Structure 1
Amino acid sequence: MLQTVTGTFFYFAYGSNLLKKRIHINNPSAVFVGIGRLNDHTLDFFKYSEKWCGAVATVVPADGASVWGAVWNIDSSGIPALDKQEGVSTNTYFPKTVAVCKCDEAEIECRTYQLTDIPTENIRGHDTELPFERRPSITYLDCIIKGAMECKLPEDYIENLKNVPHNGQASPHMQELLGG
């Protein structure tokens, strides 16, 4: 059975919003609930971001694959700020409701975001090389990895993130998130 809390919503973060400092910029009410797994999706990178100086993360439906992330409980009044951050009004991402498995295997209904344009070829997998134009920047990838470590995602998942190739670029606009 899917769970929700009145006046708040659960948000599944798999990208830069894994990092507590990042989620709290636009959603100071966010409370970390724990980690969760989105089944039948894979993490991929697509669509260049000027702010991040590289491709950004998205979830792509993929049978048998899974994406680990953070589950945040956010006041419902935070939806407009989260939508703005994710570029809903500019058609960058769209919100979608997903069932996320918590570590106790209970499902929780969460809001997450998926790029409006997702890769249809060369979907990122363990054996697929990520094309250069779809690689994240050093800064963005570091943000995701630090957030994954902070949230204590599974070690093998973190190792997989560390093996994602980057484009060699740093984002001067977002470097302060990482303490630089």
Structure 2
Amino acid sequence: MFYFAYGSNMLIARLAERVPSVRPAGRAWLVGHQLHFHLSGSDESGKCNVLHTGNDSDIVHGALYELDAERLDRLHAAEGPPYVFLELDVGTPDGVVRAATYRGRPEYLDDALVPFDWYRDFVTHGAREHGLPPDYVARLEGVTTWRDPDEQRAQHNRRILQHQATNVIRDPVRN
């Protein structure tokens, strides 16, 4: 199955922690949506969400992966109750494909939330890994953050940014 990642799961090392194997399939985009960091995480910081606007000029860029649909338990557990798992049409350089993704449930959204710096870094590093448009990456880099008060959690997550996953399947034709 195809999976569209638009937040921290764009970072290959982050997603590779959560699924048995990862096959990057290129960049993709979701039309009629805006990216917000307004989903309430279990750590009380803002996490990414795609908000449906219906406006074709609103586009969320992200990464497309091929994942084993039967082995997503850890990914679903990591995303947790704040998200619903659904399928949407996403654009790719080769045309439109149907891909699964996560969208925040309304009761978990709070526009006053701000992401931790390490979380925003997952998103920006992942965006650069997949060659997303430079102006989009620049907007992500401009997102206001705050320092995680739990230094142990922050250090753990910063290590993920440096990790080279071994369960990544590279298709030389695509990547």
> What is the TM-score of this pair, normalised by structure 1?
0.79
Give the secondary structure class of the aligned counterpart of 1:35. strand
Q: Supply the distance in 1 between the matched residues of 2:97 and 2:74 (Cα, whole angstroms).
A: 22
Counterpart of 2:29 in 1: which secondary structure?
strand
DSSP-derived class of the 1:135 partner: coil
SS in 2 for 1:59: strand
Inter-partner Cα distance in structure 2 for 1:155 and 1:18: 15
Distance 1:26 1:85 in 2: 7
Alignment equivalent of 1:29, drawn from 2, 14, 21? 21
Which one is further off, 143-152 or 110-119?
110-119
Equivalent AA in structure 1 for residue 96 of structure 2: E
Question: Deviating runs (4+, > 3 A) in structure 1?
Answer: none
Q: Distance in 2 between matches of 1:57 and 1:79?
A: 19
Amino acid at match of 2:6: Y
- Out of 21, 46, 52, the residue aligned to residue 55 of structure 1 is 46
Q: Once superposed, what is the RMSD of the aligned Cα atoms?
A: 2.0
Distance 2:35 2:117 in 1: 17
Cα deviation, 1:28-74, whole Å, max 9, x if unaligned, reads 322000000100000001233244x6210000002130100000000
State the alpha-carbon separation in 1 of the partners of residues 52 and 73 from structure 2.
Answer: 25
Aligned residues: 156
Measure the CA separation in 2 of the matches of 1:99 and 1:59: 13
* 1:85-124 equivalences in 2 (<5 Å): 85-87=78-80, 91-104=81-94, 106-117=95-106, 119=109
Q: CA deviation at 1:27?
A: 1.2
Percent sequence identity over aligned pairs? 28
1:133-168: CA deviation from partner (whole Å, max 9, x where unpaired): 321110000111011111111111101101111123
Whether contact under 8 Å (2:90, 2:96) holds in the other structure is yes
Picking from 124, 136, 146, the partner of 2:125 is: 146
Larger mean Cα displacement after TM superposition, 159-168 or 67-76? 159-168
TM-score of the superposition, structure 2-length normalised?
A: 0.81
Aligned to 2:70, the other structure's residue is in SS state helix
Question: Does residue 1:167 correspond to 2:159, yes or no?
Answer: no
Where in structure 1 are there 5+ consecutive unaligned residues?
Answer: 1-8, 121-130
Unaligned runs of at least 5 residues, structure 2: 164-175
CA shift, 1:82, in A, is 2.0
2:4 to 12, 19, 37: 12
Q: Is the 8 A contact 2:40 2:109 kept in 1?
A: no
Equivalent residue of 2:67, what SS? strand
Aligned with 1:82 (options 51, 56, 75): 75
